[in-house]
Amino acid sequence: MDSIEEAARIAIGGVLKVQQGEQVLIITNPRQDVETISRALYNAVLDRGAAPALVFQPVKTQFDFAEPAVIAAFQAKPQVVISVSAEKLGKDRRGIAAPYQYEGTEYDHIFHLQLYGEKSCRSFWSPSTTLESFGRTVPIDYAELGRRCAAINAVLTAAESVHVTAPGGTDLTLGLKGREAKADDGDFSLPGRGGNLPAGESFISPENGTAEGTIVFDGSISLHRGDIIIREPIRCRVQGGYVTDISGGGEAGALLETVTMAEKDAVDYEKAGRLPEGQGEVYRRNARNIGELGIGLNPKARITGGMLEDEKAFETCHFAVGHNYDSDAPALIHLDGLVKEPTITAHMADGSALVIERKGKLV
């Protein structure tokens, strides 16, 4: 328990730098691991002289809506929002049906509006975390992580494209023109900043329609029924930015099932008025979108079958099937899948090439 209390103190005092008198909203579920972590965070907030509110709701999956009371809690405009969920925070029913508008950008969740649009809060979220993982992976050298993230982000943001290969068979090219890399570096101390705990990745959303080649997921993957270790690799053919074919064994079948559910639900949501007219087809199409390339950078993370930690592990990268982080490819899902020992090469505007990672080792 001491390790959880120490990790909570680091999360509240070091990562978020909570100040006296600030409102802190903590959302969780009545499940042992996430509840214990949330109560430790609650106590750490009290120790900082701030004002925590701890809200419980039933466990939510990729396809579920958050409870109305949870969405209503955001109306208080807390300065800090923490989600420690057994699975997901849950979708915003009102936001999906009639997206929030802020300075020309649409947001389908009030949380995203406040964090990315209004920048009225800062945050971290820890979906499917465990006591063991949180206690082990949160106490790290955040200064060193910040330096790694900054160096990789600079290359990805400047690159015109990136080529990823791996021993398992991955061979994929992504366009990056006009895209800006983001860092999950554990510095969530300013309004508008947020990310995972455990932290530890640089990530970027490719230009829509540019992903071409093959992804072979061979680490772990997120599905609608939860995260799993991949026993038989999942091969995805990618053309024009979308997954066109999924093959392999049982895990491949489960991925196809999740994607198919997201496609069907998108159409059904529009019919039920849960999506604006015409958006059902957009969400359906983007259920197969390649929405992210991420590079794991947390030295204490390892592949455990929990994607929150897995995607931060050294010697891995991950791709997401579904919505992206640039708000121009919405979908009902975002399924991260790991590729082990990648070689990642950035191609620059001047024709040069920079190797970021070679066979899983940072260059």
Among 116, 133, 150, the domain-final residue is: 133
pLDDT at 327: 87
Task: Specify the number of domains making up the chain.
Answer: 2
Structural tokens at position 32: 């042992």
User: What CATH number did the domain enclosing 67 receive?
Assistant: 3.40.1830.10
Q: How far apart are CA 318 and CA 52, in angstroms?
A: 34
> What backbone phi and psi angles, to 5 degrees, belong to 186?
80, 10
pLDDT at 225: 86
Domain identity same for 79 and 152: no
On the question of pLDDT at 31 being above 90, the answer is: yes
Q: How far apart are CA 9 and CA 129, in angstroms?
A: 17
Domain identity same for 101 and 159: no
How much is the average pLDDT of 226-231? 94
pLDDT at 2: 62
Among 133, 168, 194, the domain-final residue is: 133
> Residue 112 belongs to what H/E stretch?
helix 110-112
On the question of pLDDT at 51 being above 60, the answer is: yes
- Quote the mean pLDDT of the chain: 96
Domain identity same for 128 and 154: no
Is the CB of residue 291 less than 8 Å from the CB of residue 336? no
Domain identity same for 156 and 274: yes
Assign 311 a pLDDT band (cuts: 50, 70, 90).
very high
How much is the average pLDDT of 254-272? 96
On the question of pLDDT at 62 being above 90, the answer is: no
Domain identity same for 63 and 186: no
DSSP collapsed to 3 states, 273-302: CCCCCCHHHHHHHHCCEEEEEEEECECCCC
pLDDT at 202: 98
Assign 186 a pLDDT band (cuts: 50, 70, 90).
very high
Domain identity same for 185 and 284: yes
Which domain covers residue 57, as residue numbers? 2-133
Instruction: Read off the pLDDT of residues 81-124 as tens digits, 9 standing for 90 and up.
Output: 999 999 999 999 999 999 999 999 999 999 999 999 999 999 99
Assign 1 a pLDDT band (cuts: 50, 70, 90).
low
Please work out, in degrees rounded to the nearest 5, the angle formed at the alpha carbon of residue 97 by the alpha carbons of 81 and 30: 40
Structural tokens at position 359: 């066979």
Assign 145 a pLDDT band (cuts: 50, 70, 90).
very high
Domain identity same for 112 and 148: no
Domain identity same for 208 and 172: yes
Among 103, 133, 163, the domain-final residue is: 133
Nearest to 300 by CA among 132, 181, 166, 188: 132
Domain identity same for 306 and 195: yes
Domain identity same for 71 and 206: no
Domain identity same for 268 and 309: yes
Domain identity same for 279 and 337: yes
